[in-house]
Every structure is written in structure tokens, then in C-alpha cells.
Amino acid sequence: MTKKTVDGQLQTSVYKMEDGKNLQELAKEVTEESYSEQQLNNSLPDDYNFQLFYNRYTYTPKWKSFIEPLAEKSQAILFTENSAQQNYVLFIETKDTKNIYAVTGGYGHNAIRKYIDNDFGLDVLSRLIKKEDKILKSARERNFVGGIPRCFWSGSRVSSPAWRPAKQRIAAASTRRT
């Protein structure tokens, strides 16, 4: 999964590492994945421990051999032999709670995927959204609807009488789940 800038905004991923892992263990794992530690400047906040790792991977794309017989020899697609992928992992440890978070770019997430707390996103979401929020109700209804085309739903009305019993069952199930 390549991360790129969209509309001038940098796209990164933030992960919480599993409890019980320490920064030294994670650093060792990342260096075993061919990442090298980078020096940080001294102006970072004192409340956190930071460690930054970088990896540059050079390779010849497999599709080059497929394209080569198709393109004229003078075409730019054939000039560059190798491609490069740059990746990073930035670990941030809170000194008071010892929670460790990782910010990644490129394919950096692959180096830490074994240690990701998969419930972190749900934990954050549960603190941001209240049970009665409309967005949660909307998401719940969409999950029940599944493959029913959205054009059949118009607010609380259904465009075809045949869909009314289905909508009533969905609404009843949605009410029971809250």
C-alpha cells in the first residue's frame, strides 16, 4: 500500500503497538527488516521517546519484461532499470504510560504488522462517537442493507412497496442492537 500526498496533505498511518512490547524490542525487530536508525534533532518534546527508522528498497519491476517487447526501444518506460521504494517507521513512546505508537510511510507498516494493537482504531472511534449519533445509525443501517442499491432508500421512505417489509425488519434489528 503506497501512501501519497493528496491535495497537499501527507497521508500517514498511526498505529498503537501491543501492550507489553518495549521500544528496544520493536527497534530490534525493525532493524532485522533492513531498516536503519536515523538520528533525530534535539528539539523534540521531553515527554516522549522517539526512534526513527528508514529503509530504501531498490528493485527491477517484474512488468518490465512484459512491456519490453511491446514498446519501441527509445521509449521512456524502458529507460529506468530499477525502481525504489522508501519507507519509514517512527516510534513514539509516552514516558508516563509507556504506550508506544508508530507512524509509518511507504510500506513501513509491514515491518511492524505483527505488533499492531488491532483494536486501537475501534477504541478511538468509541471515544469520539456517541451511541445516539446519526452517523453511527447510518453506518448500522448500511451494514444491514448490504447489497440493496442505495437508490431504493430515500430518507425514511422506500421507492418500491416490495422493499417496505425488508426496511421494517432492518429498522427493528437496528433498534435492538443499540
Q: What is the residue extent of each domain of the chain?
A: 13-126, 131-177
More confident residue, 46 or 172: 46
DSSP letter assigned to residue 44: S
Decide: pTM greater than 0.75. Answer: no
Position 83 scores a pLDDT of 86
For 119-168, how does the pLDDT look when each residue is reduced to its tens digit (9 = 90+)?
A: 888 888 777 777 666 666 666 566 554 544 444 444 444 444 555 555 56
Q: How confident is the model at residue 79 (pLDDT cuts 50, 70, 90)?
A: confident
Position 170 scores a pLDDT of 60
Q: How confident is the model at residue 25 (pLDDT cuts 50, 70, 90)?
A: very high
Most confident of 10-14, 113-117, 171-175: 113-117
Specify whether the CB–CB gap between 32 and 112 falls below 8 A. no
For 45-69, how does the pLDDT look when each residue is reduced to its tens digit (9 = 90+)?
A: 999 999 999 999 888 888 888 888 9
- Has residue 105 got a pLDDT over 70? yes
Cell, residue 31? 532493524
99: left (phi over 0), alpha (psi -120 to 50) or beta: beta
